Amino acid sequence: MKFTRQKITNLLVKALSQGMTPRKLAVTCALGVVLGIFPIFGTTTLICLGVAILFRLNIPILQVVNYLVAPLQLLLIIPFIKTGTYLFRLNAFPYTADELLTMFRNDFWLLLKETGIALTIGIGVWLILAIPVFFLLFYVFFWIFTQWKRTGQRELKSQ
């Protein structure tokens, strides 16, 4: 599925026009971003699905946002880990990108074992940032969606 700006905008506007509140849509999008940058690649789809079911959020919108931030997730994994090694005063991350790729190809379970601590501290940094980033994004999205809903209602009344 190709995501275009128009398709994404249509999905969001459709959700608002079908009774989804700006608040719920903002929560859904903010969670999609925050969960989408979780520092373990390949886990966010299931995490987002579980959260959407648990909190009765719009699954397609949450997953679209999750997929849109996937490149950001890849960019942030190593900085999360490096920040964690600094914050938690642990040894520096000992592997280069080439070594990680070789371990991924040859022995995935060894990779998980060897990088388990690094991934755990990356998750720790993500946890520290998740709540403030969620609230920041929530208020930005809430403002945007409230404006869209008002604008859409004015357009409908004038027609």
Q: How many CB atoms lie within 10 A of CB 76?
A: 19
Consecutive 10-residue runs of the chain (159 residues): their mean pLDDT?
A: 70 72 94 96 93 94 94 93 87 74 83 80 95 98 89 54
> What pLDDT score does 54 carry?
96
Nearest to 29 by CA among 6, 62, 55: 62
Sketch the domain layout of the chain as residue ranges.
Answer: 5-158
Structure tokens at 100: 């990680």
